[in-house]
Amino acid sequence: MSERNIRVEPIDRQAVEDQEVEIVERKGIGHPDSISDGVAESVASALARAYIDRVGKVLHFNTDETQLVAGEAAPAFGGGEVVDPIYLLIVGRATKHYEGQTIPTERIALSAAREYLEETIPQLEYGEDIIVDVKLGEGSGDLQDVFGEDDESSGPVGVPMANDTSFGVGHAPLTETERIVLEAERRLNGEFAEENPYLGPDVKIMGKREGDEIDVTVAAAMVDEYVADLDAYAAAVESVREFVEDVAAEHTDRDVTVHVNTADDYDEGSIYLTVTGTSAEQGDDGSVGRGNRANGLITPNRSMSMEATSGKNPVNHIGKIYNLLSTQIAEEVVAEVDGIRDLRVRLLSQIGRPIDEPHVADVHVVTEEGVVLGDVEAEIEAIVDAELADVTGITRRVIDGELTTF
């Protein structure tokens, strides 16, 4: 029996796959909220690596308050222009002075933001279409003490104390609708966009399942430079629809209907045409934590934490670690234990307590027909215990860029 406070019990609802109505959303990498998440996380990773290189361990920081203010653009077939640039402010705290060293945190942040934006949204001209600013204050003394900067056991290989009393939530396995929404956006922004540059990275997908009928609504920003006229635009929309239909068919035998850019009015010439491939150029603001949860989805049928995962410190910030870890635990349990239909993991921390000893690790399970929870309870608890014992593995994987946070 583990000394950790691990509880395993039946879940208080049907498995999501068996519920009559399911709703799933994903905001693509070019959505204003995802841009904020992506920049905040890229800056966080850069700061963590810089601290390790310079002082041998990650120091106190967070960049999870990053904000985006939309600009103004004038798209046109064949290529328009950005009239007023997007403004992005990297906001947070960072340790700038340590044992006689001065660490150029704001320069590091600006460099990381530039690299991320140039890779993710290549149509955005850095410094012209988007202006990036940074304001990183020093961390508060009490939180730096909790962080354990003076404790040799802390850092990327130790077990630090929790920075907050908070919780993380994860679930597995993904439903068919969840897999369709997640994979459709990733593949549209992957293989599809590589071959079809008219598709911008701002792809938002909403999935709705009623019984055995799945309805997928896609909002896809088209890049005007690669769209010659309205006929070309209509063809681009149809190609996106067909691609998403094919992705959906790989994940379900249910009936699937796909809609793309449903707000378009061809008669009025009102279409989703952009200069840069993101709605951030024209009126849509963004903030860290307002978009996808740590598993890449927004799932109102599931329990979710409202914590912003992106930009938080990967060493002891529970809003990051426990959301990633709970998802990893859920996936590991479902992969290793037979007979689980649905599983939810909730991890609660207590500020100042070691992060491998949560205040409670609460696992809720729906077993498949014929499987009794008591038959698998010990196996589940052992996996949860082992994953908690290796909690610093999350820190290493985040710093190494192996885990996504949105």
Per residue in 105-128, pLDDT (tens digit) is: 999 999 999 999 999 999 999 999
Q: Give the pLDDT confidence score for residue 283 in this predicted structure.
A: 86
Instruction: Give the pLDDT confidence score for residue 157 in this predicted structure.
Output: 45
**Local structure of residue 138 (DSSP, 8 states):** P
Position 12 scores a pLDDT of 82
pLDDT of residue 362: 97
Written as one string, the DSSP assignment of 275-342 is: SSSSGGGTT--EETTSS--TTS-B-TTS----S--TTS-TTT-HHHHHHHHHHHHHHHHHHHSTTEEE
Burial class (CB in 10 A: 0-12, 13-18, 19+), 203: buried
- Burial (CB count within 10 angstroms: exposed 0-12, middle 13-18, buried 19+), residue 269: exposed
Asked: is 176-284 a CATH 1.10.150.530 domain? The reply is no
Roughly what angle, to the nearest 10 degrees, separates helices 230-249 and 176-187? 140
Backbone phi and psi for residue 67, each to the nearest 5 degrees, phi listed first: -130, 145
Cis upstream peptide for 173 (omega within 30°): yes
Please check the confidence at residue 170 and state whether its pLDDT lies above 60.
Answer: yes
CATH class of 6-14+166-174+290-399: alpha beta
For position 153, what pLDDT does the model report?
40
> Over 80: is that where the pLDDT of 380 sits?
yes
What are the residues facing 135 on neighbouring strands?
A: 91
Residue 223, token pair as written in the block: 């890049």
Instruction: Please state, rounded to an integer, the average pLDDT across all residues of the chain.
Output: 94
Q: Which helix (H) or strand (E) holds 26?
A: strand 21-27
**pLDDT value at residue 150:** 42
Least confident of 60-64, 155-159, 300-304, 393-397: 155-159
The domain 32-147 is placed in CATH, from the list 1.10.645.10, 3.30.420.40, 3.40.50.300, 3.30.300.10, at 3.30.300.10
Q: Token digits for 154?
A: 């802390």
E strand or H helix that includes residue 62 = strand 61-62
What does the pLDDT average to over 297-303? 97
Q: How far apart are the first and last CA of the chain?
A: 35
Residues 6+ apart with CB under 8 A from 317: 62, 163, 164
Q: What is the mean pLDDT of residues 67-74?
A: 97
Task: Indicate the Cα dihedral angle 223, 404, 206, 175, nearest 10°.
Answer: 140
- Paired tokens of 87: 């403004």
Residue indicated by tokens 């911008």? 200
Residue 148 has pLDDT above 70, yes or no: no
> Could you check whether 6-14+166-174+290-399 and 176-284 share the same CATH topology?
yes
Q: What is the pTM of this model?
A: 0.93
Place of tokens 């802390």: 154
For residue 95, what pLDDT is reported?
95
Give the pLDDT band of residue 154 (cuts 50, 70, 90).
Answer: very low
| Domain positions in the chain | 6-14+166-174+290-399, 32-147, 176-284
The first and second tokens of residue 323, run together, are 């959301």
pLDDT digits (tens, 9 = 90+) for 14-34: 999 999 999 999 999 999 999
**Across 80-109, average pLDDT:** 96
CA distances from 53 to 30, 144, 147, 325 (A): 31, 20, 19, 25
**Residues 180, 199: Cα–Cα separation, whole Å:** 19
